[in-house]
Structure 1
Amino acid sequence: MIAVYDAAGHEVGARERSEVYAEGLWHASAGVLVRSGDGSRLYVHRRTDTKMVFAGMHDCLAGGVVEPGESPAETAVRELAEELGIVADTEPRPLSTASWDGEWAGRPMRCHLFAYEVRWDGPIRHQPEEIAEGWWWTDARLRAHLDDPTWPFVPDTRAFITELLR
C-alpha cells in the first residue's frame, strides 16, 4: 500500500502500488541527494532492470514512495537506509519540492516529489533488488550526461534536477 494524494499535495487515502501506477493517481515520493562530506561529489546510480517503474534508468536521488501515514521526511530516511545502507547522524536537509504530471509506459503518472540532501563519506551498500551500480560524480559530469536527452535518466528527477545541482 502507498499513500494517495490529491493534486494539491494532501494525503487522501491509500491504494495498492499497482493500482496507483495503472490509474495514474497522485502519490508522493521522497528522494535524497547524497553528497560527499565536502560537497564536491554526488552519488549517481543505475536502477535494476527489474524495477516496476523506470527500470534500468539512472538517478541521483535514493528514494521511494511515501507509505500511508508516513511523512516525506520519514520516507527519505527509510529509503536512504534501504537503498544505499546509509544511516546518517543528521536528518536529511530539505532541498526542494515539485509536482510531476507526466507519463510512463503510455499511462499518466502523477507524483509530488520531495527532495532532500545528506552529506556522507561512509560506505555505500546497494540494495541488490533496487540498485544495480553507482558512482561518485561531480555536478558538472552529471550535467554533461543530462545534456544528452537520450541518456536514460528518471524523468521525474530530471524535471527538477537543475535546482539541485550547483
Structure 2
Amino acid sequence: MSTQQETELLAVYDADRRVIGQADRGTVYREGLWHASAGVLVRSNDGRRIYVHRRTDSKLVFAGMHDCLAGGVVDAGEVPAAAAIRELREELGIELPAGTVLPVLGTVSWDGEWAGTPMRCHLFVYEVRSDGPFRHQPSEIADGWWWTDAELRAHLDDPSWPFVPDTRVLLADLLIDDA
C-alpha cells in the first residue's frame, strides 16, 4: 500500500450503517473496521446488458477479480451517493450532469475476511443506464465487456469464478430473469 493510500481518510461506520468517525485506510483495513463502499451497476440503455469488468492485479482488495460495479470506498466527510458518482467518473469515465440522483438498488453489509484480515464493509449500490463509451482507469480496471443478466448469472453460479464477494452477496436479487 502506498503512503498516500495508507493515509487516505475513510469514513468509519458502526455495524448499523451509521458514521461514527474516520480513520486512515491502512488502519481501517488492518483492524477490520466497518467502513462503506459505493458501487454503480451500469446497464445498457435498453436494460438488456450489464457492464462487467476485471479488476487489475495491483488492486489492494480483491485484486484480479471480476465485478459489475464501478465503485470504491467512501471517504471521510463523503456520503455514499457522492462516492458512487465520483467512482463512476474515475473508473469508467462516465460524467453525469450536476444534480443527478442515481436510483438506489440496495445495501448489503459484508462481514468477511480478505487476505487473512477481517473485512467489514457496508456496500451501497446504485444504477445508471449508459452505452458508453467507457474510459477505464488503468490502475483500477484491466478489461471490461457487456453480458446479459443470464450470462452473468451463469458465471456467478460457479462459486470458483473469481468475483468480488460483497457484490456477489447482493447481485442475485438484482439480476433480471431472462425468459
Asked if Structure 1 and Structure 2 have the same fold, meaning a TM-score greater than 0.5 normalized by the shorter chain, the answer is: yes
* Residue 37 of structure 1: how far off its partner (Å): 0.4
- Once the two structures are aligned, what percentage of the paired residues are identical? 71
Aligned residue among 47, 50, 61 for 1:53? 61
* Residue 91 of structure 1: how far off its partner (Å): 2.9
Aligned residue among 1, 14, 20 for 1:6? 14
For 2:108, the equivalent position in structure 1 comes to 98
Retained in 2: the 8 A contact 1:91–1:118?
A: no
1:85 corresponds to 2:67: no
**Which letter maps to 1:62?**
A
Mark the runs of 5 or more structure 2 residues left unpaired by the alignment.
1-8
Q: Distance in 1 between matches of 2:58 and 2:161?
A: 19
For 1:145, the equivalent position in structure 2 comes to 155
* TM-score, normalised with respect to structure 2: 0.90
* TM-score, normalised with respect to structure 1: 0.97
Mark the runs of 5 or more structure 1 residues left unpaired by the alignment.
none
1:122 corresponds to 2:132: yes
Deviations for 1:31-58, whole angstroms, at most 9, x for unmatched residues? 0000000100010000000000000000
Deviations for 1:4-63, whole angstroms, at most 9, x for unmatched residues? 101111111111111111110000000000000010001000000000000000000000
Retained in 2: the 8 A contact 1:27–1:112?
A: yes
Retained in 2: the 8 A contact 1:88–1:120?
A: no
Q: Distance in 2 between matches of 1:139 and 1:34?
A: 12
For 1:161, the equivalent position in structure 2 comes to 171
Aligned residue among 11, 19, 33 for 1:25? 33
For 1:15, the equivalent position in structure 2 comes to 23
Moved over 4 A (4+): none
For 1:131, the equivalent position in structure 2 comes to 141
Q: Distance in 2 between matches of 1:53 and 1:119?
A: 27
**Which letter maps to 1:125?**
R
